[in-house]
Amino acid sequence: MSEYRLTVLPGDGTGREVIVQAMRVIDVFEEHSPLSFDITEIPCGGQYFLETGEEWPEGSFEHCRDNSDAILLGAIGWPGARMPNGDMAGGQVILGLRSGLDLYANIRPVKLYQGVQHKVHGEHTDIWDPDLVDMVLIRENTEGLYHSLLRRSAQAAVGAKDEPLATPEFPGLEGEEVAWDPRPITRNGSERVIRFAFELAKRRQSHLQAPQRVTCVDKSNVLRGCRLFRSVFDEIDEEFDDIETTKAFIDAFTMWLVRDPEDLDVVVLPNMFGDIATDLASVLQGGMGMAASANIGDQHMLFEPVHGSSPKHAGQDKVNPIAAISSVQLMFDNLGARHNDPDALVCADILESAISSHLSEGGDVTYDLGGSASTSEVGQAIAERCGKLLQKHYPSA
């Protein structure tokens, strides 16, 4: 019997709605498997800020840091919710946790399930090939262009003030109003996320029984930080004989991603390139409603759908809950791997089968996948499938 401390941060807009469905699924696992969770829910985000003047209650960051085996986040961001300094309200939550808990690997799997409408040509894939779209993008999550906002957010989360950097002199721009964002890329920051990518490729190799490839994406023809990133990639590549590697510049990569997705397995990218490429990649899997993510560090982990709070759809029970439910799948999988817990790994597989069979057998889907089901109908249908599969696997639980 494994009990995990789970902190749930529903956040803003449709984040709250999809988290209800994720929790419904977790309930079923609690009922029918050995997994159990000690759950704390914390209100947070831009809407909470507009109501209370705070991004989350005092002590929330410490709770996430000191009393959580896993964190599950809905979405952060709300129109008009800005801090006095112009930063988005709720940044303390999402960026404060990524930075303050050192969640350096943002894992974003991109997989087209059988039965899901393809967003590029708009057809259901008649000739569905499981290898066509099945990759994992790993975004560096603690530095690069996000550096200063990450730092401000992490400092604010512990009640400390960040000293802004003095604006350097930009020769030739004297007298101009300049806004600038530093983009530090460090050896250590690159090394840990790149090593993570190679290790993940090894784990996928044993799972998929196929040779795996790691692709490094950067702009090292132009940028110094990217040159360091790529040279660290080359060094780590030397340590892994059985993993193939390829390299691409981000501009060409965006074309390659859409044109030949079957060439890609594990892809590692600096922070901002990863942010952009993962939204683009989501069209290969049926859109943002399908895109799940895990933010992993050596001590902590946080799971979230990649989509935002979608204010225009909020309150309508309309959006796709599968990205949030798949984030729970990633949570089971990562808890299992980290805590050496075979039941959590089994539950991850069961949840994966529930999602894939729901889609391949023509289960109800939301508008974004061409259906007309509500958020809660899809959540309920997947939860029911989980219940049936669990009762087969754990007849006495």
In the complex, which residues of this chain contact ligand IPM (CB under 6 A)?
76-77, 94, 275, 306, 308
* Binding span for Mn ion by CB under 5 A among 22-30, 204-212, 234-242, 267-275: 267-275
For residue 57, how many other CB atoms are within 10 A of its CB? Answer: 12
Nearest to Mn ion of 102, 275 (CB atom): 275
Q: Report, in Å, the least distance between residue 79 CB and ligand IPM.
A: 13
- Let me know: does 137 contact 108? Beta carbons within 8 Å: yes
Nearest to ligand IPM of 323, 355 (CB atom): 323
Nearest to ligand IPM of 308, 387 (CB atom): 308
Nearest to ligand IPM of 12, 218 (CB atom): 12
Q: What track of x and - describes contact with Mn ion for positions 274 through 313 (by CB under 5 A)?
A: -x--------------------------------------
Q: Report, in Å, the least distance between residue 250 CB and ligand IPM.
A: 16
User: 3-class DSSP state for residue 303?
Assistant: strand
Sheet containing strand 266-269, edge to edge, reads 35-41, 2-11, 70-75, 301-305, 292-296, 105-111, 134-140, 266-269, 213-218, 244-249
Q: Report, in Å, the least distance between residue 34 CB and ligand IPM.
A: 32
CA distance linking residue 395 with residue 387, whole number of Å: 11
User: Which residue of this chain has its Cβ atom nearest to ligand IPM in the complex?
Assistant: 275
Nearest to Mn ion of 120, 276 (CB atom): 276
Q: Report, in Å, the least distance between residue 308 CB and Mn ion.
A: 8
Q: Report, in Å, the least distance between residue 272 CB and Mn ion.
A: 9
76 binds, among ligand IPM, Mn ion, none (CB under 5 to 8 A by kind): ligand IPM
Neighbour-count burial for 38-51, b at 16+ CB within 10 Å, e otherwise: eebebbbbbbbbee
Nearest to ligand IPM of 236, 257 (CB atom): 257
15 binds, among Mn ion, ligand IPM, none (CB under 5 to 8 A by kind): none
DSSP one-letter string for 299-364:
S-EEEEESS---GGGTTSS-S--HHHHHHHHHHHHHHHHHHT-HHHHHHHHHHHHHHHHHHHTT--
Token couple for 70: 């896993």
Q: Report, in Å, the least distance between residue 89 CB and ligand IPM.
A: 11
DSSP one-letter string for 149-191:
HHHHHHHHHTTPPPPPPPPPP-TT-TTS----------HHHHH
Residues that bind Mn ion (CB under 5 A): 275
